[in-house]
Structure 1
Amino acid sequence: MALFERYLSLWVALAIGAGVTLGLAAPGFSATLAQLQFASVNLVVAVLIWAMIYPMMVAVDFSSISEIGRKPKGLIITLVINWLVKPFTMAALAVAFFDYIYSGIISGEDAQQYIAGLILLGAAPCTAMVFVWSQLTKGDPAYTLVQVSVNDLIMIVAFAPIVALLLGVTDIVVPWDTLLLSVVLFVAIPLLAGWLTRKYLIGRSEGDDQAVDDFVARLKPFSIIGLLATVVFLFAFQAETIVSRPVLIVLIAIPIIIQSYGIFAIAYAAAWAWRVPHNIAAPCALIGTSNFFELAVAVAIGLFGLSSGAALATVVGVLVEVPVMLSLVALANRSRSSFSR
């Protein structure tokens, strides 16, 4: 798999093209797969993401979790970025672009819809794909698990108030089924499976951790294949929108991309300045950059409707997510030597 990892950006670009082609050539097939969902979580994509997460969960050394309290810097940066910075910078960028920069291109009514969608994205930190980005940067799996778990707990109480504050809407209905299902699917089940697998491997090898490392190495090719398949399906689901409204997609994507690189730069620089080790610093910055798009899409549809501009804006967040995050993974890997060991 060294060839695949070395040219991962190329394979993702090909997967994007394949996804759009599949969506246009077989719209019925793509629509059928898109409808296989429960609580706004697509079950096909969920299985693929689970396959990507599982190897990292096997790599989690549960005995090291208790040590995380002694090195809280990465967790502090993640929480500050996710809850005190990211929602508000996203809202500011959305207003700047759609109320001012795009004022002669997009009507005021539509602009408010797109602003709402971007705010929903900014207020929903990622739960699932973060494990993939952490694995690709050789992040500390135990620390990443704790960061994601604490974020999920905070999201349960903080998501609705932040969205209500920024949107000026008081009757926010949080889709608890989406939130809880995602936590179970993308954290609880893979974690349990990883723990059982690790326990079995160590027991069979009489306490030799090398057996775990070898097992995870064998699974890595399937993790990359799962990532590429996920890209294919995500773009297939939205192929018609991409082709029919390309200019609007680009306009919405611009502030999302600026937000992503800006948030990553803030978190990564803070981790570097605070002398956080790279295997914690990289996932720390990537967690703040990535979005929980299932939750954002579900709330956008619930508040504004399936065909609303807010829902479209959250969908664009889905399309932008993988290419942008992979570029940041590459940046994090290239800058590994700049961090304290």
Structure 2
Amino acid sequence: MSIFERYLTVWVGLCIVAGVALGHVFAPVFHLIAAAEIAKVNLPMAALIWLMIIPMLIKVDFAALGQVARHWRGISVTLLINWLVKPFGMALLGWIFISQLFRPYLPADQIDSYIAGLILLAAAPCTAMVFVWSNLTKGEPNFTLSQVALNDSIMVVAFAPIVGLLLGLSAITVPWSTLTLSVGLYIIVPVLAAQLIRKALLAKGEAALSRFMAVMQPLSIVALLATLVMLFGFQGEQILKQPLVIALLAVPILIQVYVNSGLAYLLNRLSGEAHCVAGPSALIGASNFFELAVAAAISLFGFQSGAALATVVGVLIEVPVMLSIVAIVNASKPWYERGQAVRKVAAARGDTPFKA
């Protein structure tokens, strides 16, 4: 894991401070940035988000979809968590905590927006950081690659309907035209662009792809940090008035992450899947594609919305929470491999994944 990835929470914290300060000192500049829109698309933010997302998608080899059947147990568990349990579970958690328990402590006019942000966060499975988490758990690389490729393929067609359905169930007005535009701009266009770039670079050899990523990865990081500074520049006044908001928004996110990762891990154990698949499966089921969630929240509800702030809270807690899950997965490996179904499947394969 790179220094940036390991200390992501620190960088986000610095972006909060920088954004709040700059938003207060240079308020007219931030208003000009917010006004730079065409068809409800903020052009500076769109450029930053494409710079964030495309390098991550270039890493994904959609040819890996041919390997899906090799790890059907782990794939099935992760799909269940990502596309049924996580988004619908987050809608429920948002209603319980944001709409009910925490309502007296939150700005009344932002309640629905906070819930919308949590739904957007849960409906976008992680694409990039999953490879880091998988590596830390000694995960099966082919499984991780095929799972990410499958999730990205599903996301193209499922993100908008799931978000629209859950927003509707939460009694939040669904801006369908903006939602559809967001899917096109921040999922379909980046996926197509990334794969065209990947194909062109691979035609020149793996070294060309590696050199390109070495240049683009730092730019992607800068784009992420600049996006966060802009967000907090617009959110600064609200954060200073309501510092408790971030802590309260973190509660349903934390519950979702630990419950989903634990459920995925247990289901893999019950199905007999190997630990090298169960680890990344649990982590893929718990993490989020927060870059996409931030982009969609800004497009749908604006820079100063509670939805945008809720998605950023996901960025803030991503690394420490996921590292804690990595530690649990690694420490519990002996227990996992003592599972009856795991032993049975391993014996059928002729493997010995555990010590008696």
Change in Cα spacing, 1:214 to 1:103, as seen in structure 2 (3 Å) is closer
> Who is 1:76 aligned against?
76
User: CA–CA distance in 2 between the matches of 1:279 and 1:166?
Assistant: 31
> Who is 1:153 aligned against?
157
- The answer to whether residue 37 in structure 2 is matched with residue 33 in structure 1 is no
Aligned partner of 1:181 among 167, 185, 194: 185
User: CA–CA distance in 2 between the matches of 1:314 and 1:216?
Assistant: 31
> Who is 1:318 aligned against?
311
Aligned residues of 1:267 and 1:284 also touching (Cα < 8 A): yes
> Who is 2:293 aligned against?
292
* One-letter amino acid matched to 1:314: A
In structure 2, the residue corresponding to 1:292 is in which secondary structure?
helix
Q: Report the aligned-residue RMSD.
A: 3.9
Deviation at residue 32 of structure 1 after TM alignment: 2.2
Change in Cα spacing, 1:73 to 1:197, as seen in structure 2 (3 Å) is farther
> Who is 2:47 aligned against?
47
Deviation at residue 325 of structure 1 after TM alignment: 1.8
User: CA–CA distance in 2 between the matches of 1:234 and 1:329?
Assistant: 23
> Who is 2:255 aligned against?
258
Aligned residues of 2:118 and 2:310 also touching (Cα < 8 A): yes
> Who is 1:88 aligned against?
88
Aligned residues of 1:58 and 1:195 also touching (Cα < 8 A): no
User: CA–CA distance in 1 between the matches of 2:8 and 2:121?
Assistant: 27
Deviation at residue 102 of structure 1 after TM alignment: 3.8
Deviation at residue 67 of structure 1 after TM alignment: 1.7
Tell me the TM-score normalized by structure 1.
0.73
Aligned residues of 2:56 and 2:127 also touching (Cα < 8 A): yes
User: CA–CA distance in 1 between the matches of 2:132 and 2:37?
Assistant: 27
Aligned residues of 2:114 and 2:309 also touching (Cα < 8 A): no
User: CA–CA distance in 2 between the matches of 1:278 and 1:117?
Assistant: 31
- What's the CA shift string for 1:224-272, capped at 9, x where partnerless? 3333333222222322221233344544444344334444443455456
Change in Cα spacing, 1:31 to 1:267, as seen in structure 2 (3 Å) is farther
Aligned residues of 2:265 and 2:278 also touching (Cα < 8 A): no
Change in Cα spacing, 1:69 to 1:5, as seen in structure 2 (3 Å) is same
* Structure 2: 5+ residue stretches without partners: 136-140, 338-352
User: CA–CA distance in 2 between the matches of 1:94 and 1:261?
Assistant: 16
Question: Equivalent residues in 2 for 1:77-156 (5 A)?
Answer: 77-98=77-98, 100-102=100-102, 110=108, 114-115=111-112, 117-118=114-115, 121-122=118-119, 125=122, 127=124, 130-137=126-133, 138=135, 140-141=144-145, 143-156=147-160
Deviation at residue 182 of structure 1 after TM alignment: 1.9
Tell me the TM-score normalized by structure 2.
0.71
Deviation at residue 211 of structure 1 after TM alignment: 5.3
In structure 1, the residue corresponding to 2:32 is in which secondary structure?
helix
* One-letter amino acid matched to 2:320: S
* One-letter amino acid matched to 2:44: V
Aligned residues of 1:58 and 1:194 also touching (Cα < 8 A): yes
* Structure 1: 5+ residue stretches without partners: 203-208
> Who is 2:323 aligned against?
330
- What's the CA shift string for 1:26-84, capped at 9, x where partnerless? 11222222333455554434333433434444433444332224334454334322443
Deviation at residue 323 of structure 1 after TM alignment: 0.9
Deviation at residue 95 of structure 1 after TM alignment: 3.4
- The answer to whether residue 227 in structure 2 is matched with residue 233 in structure 1 is no
Change in Cα spacing, 1:122 to 1:82, as seen in structure 2 (3 Å) is farther
User: CA–CA distance in 2 between the matches of 1:13 and 1:281?
Assistant: 27
* One-letter amino acid matched to 2:223: G
User: CA–CA distance in 1 between the matches of 2:6 and 2:174?
Assistant: 44
Change in Cα spacing, 1:214 to 1:84, as seen in structure 2 (3 Å) is same
User: CA–CA distance in 1 between the matches of 2:46 and 2:73?
Assistant: 31
Aligned residues of 1:20 and 1:236 also touching (Cα < 8 A): yes
User: CA–CA distance in 1 between the matches of 2:322 and 2:7?
Assistant: 13
Change in Cα spacing, 1:215 to 1:230, as seen in structure 2 (3 Å) is same
> Who is 1:205 aligned against?
none
Aligned residues of 1:198 and 1:212 also touching (Cα < 8 A): yes
User: CA–CA distance in 1 between the matches of 2:39 and 2:77?
Assistant: 31
User: CA–CA distance in 2 between the matches of 1:146 and 1:23?
Assistant: 40
